């Protein structure tokens, strides 16, 4: 009999600091992605209840959670990840594609300033951590639906880091954080430190992912369809959509501790766990 007790790597949780926004004004009143249908009823109180469960999960994990006040008339402000991108206390602001969300950019930049961050006003269209994911010293940057490729160049100048462009091709996975999950940004090269959905990318992007992350977790279409990849990890605990069962199985096999939460009401707006979570890296 083969001993598999030590097969999974030992994972280490590290404290995270995040920014969130209560969905007090969440509603689907327009359509800017395939998930949204204004004809379907939206239960704002249920969205708040589900969001509070995510909030408590982060507190239980020892995260430092900051809150930005929601603004009436900005129903998508709950998706805090799109509000900017923060490394080394520098906050690169968001400039949204659609007019419905454009006021969110200045609102988040105001919060960054008030809380001591060095704010860089964007010159190019970008939707923050929705399309920018830090993995080690490298920034994976999505394009194709929301963030413009010239924002990737701006990002590289601001942070002085390598930026790797990945083109998204499936409109249901319109932000990079719906198609890639960062499992351990500090993992050594060659370790399985991301998960992704192959069909969300063009052949060029897929080749880049395969070369850089040969042992990545590959998530199936069913789990991706409930935004299972839209997850948040501290290096050991991975908060995911509770319905992403095969992804949960794979995470356990890799030595992670998956924690399922139900954000089904917020899924009606096209967002999940990661969409509600903006990491603040001082």
- Active-site residue set: 175, 275
Residue 81 CB contacts under 8 Å (≥ 6 apart), including other chains: 128, 129, 130, 177, 274, 275, 276, 277, 278
Closest by CA to 277, choosing from 97, 142, 82, is 82
Helices (H), 80-201: 104-114, 149-159
d(CA 23, CA 157): 34
The residue to which tokens 């192959």 are assigned? 198
Q: Would you say 146 and 130 are in contact if contact means Cβ atoms under 8 Å apart?
A: yes
Closest by CA to 181, choosing from 123, 122, 248, 124, is 248
d(CA 282, CA 280): 6
Closest by CA to 231, choosing from 174, 166, 171, 276, is 276
Helices (H), 139-238: 149-159, 203-212, 221-224
Closest by CA to 271, choosing from 204, 206, 226, 221, is 226
Q: Would you say 156 and 162 are in contact if contact means Cβ atoms under 8 Å apart?
A: yes
Torsion from C-alpha of 180, 41, 104, 31, nearest 10 degrees: 70
Q: Would you say 182 and 129 are in contact if contact means Cβ atoms under 8 Å apart?
A: no
């Amino acid at each position: 009999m083969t001993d598999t007790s030590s097969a999974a790597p030992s994972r280490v949780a590290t404290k995270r600091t995040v920014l969130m926004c209560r969905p007090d004004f969440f509603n689907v009143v327009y359509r800017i992605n395939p998930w949204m249908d204004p004809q379907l009823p939206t239960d704002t109180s249920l969205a708040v209840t589900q969001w509070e469960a995510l909030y408590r999960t982060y507190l239980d994990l020892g995260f430092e959670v900051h809150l930005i006040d929601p603004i009436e008339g900005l129903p998508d402000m709950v998706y805090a990840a799109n509000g900017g991108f923060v490394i080394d206390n520098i906050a690169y602001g968001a400039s949204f594609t659609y007019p419905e969300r454009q006021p969110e950019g200045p609102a988040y930049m105001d919060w960054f300033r008030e809380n001591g961050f060095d704010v860089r006003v964007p010159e190019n269209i970008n939707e923050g951590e929705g399309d920018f994911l830090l993995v080690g010293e490298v920034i994976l940057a999505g394009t194709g639906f929301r963030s413009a490729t010239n924002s990737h160049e701006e990002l590289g100048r601001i942070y002085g880091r390598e930026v790797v462009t990945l083109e998204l091709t499936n409109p249901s996975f319109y932000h990079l954080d719906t198609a890639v999950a960062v499992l351990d940004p500090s993992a050594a090269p060659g370790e399985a430190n991301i998960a992704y959905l192959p069909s969300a990318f063009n052949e060029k992007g897929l080749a880049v992912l395969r070369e850089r992350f040969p042992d990545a977790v590959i998530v199936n279409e069913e789990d991706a369809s409930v935004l299972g990849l839209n997850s948040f990890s501290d290096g050991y605990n991975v908060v995911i959509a509770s319905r992403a069962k095969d992804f949960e199985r794979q995470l356990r096999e890799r030595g992670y501790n998956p924690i399922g939460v139900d954000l089904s009401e917020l899924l009606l707006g096209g967002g999940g766990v990661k969409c509600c979570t903006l990491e603040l890296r001082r």
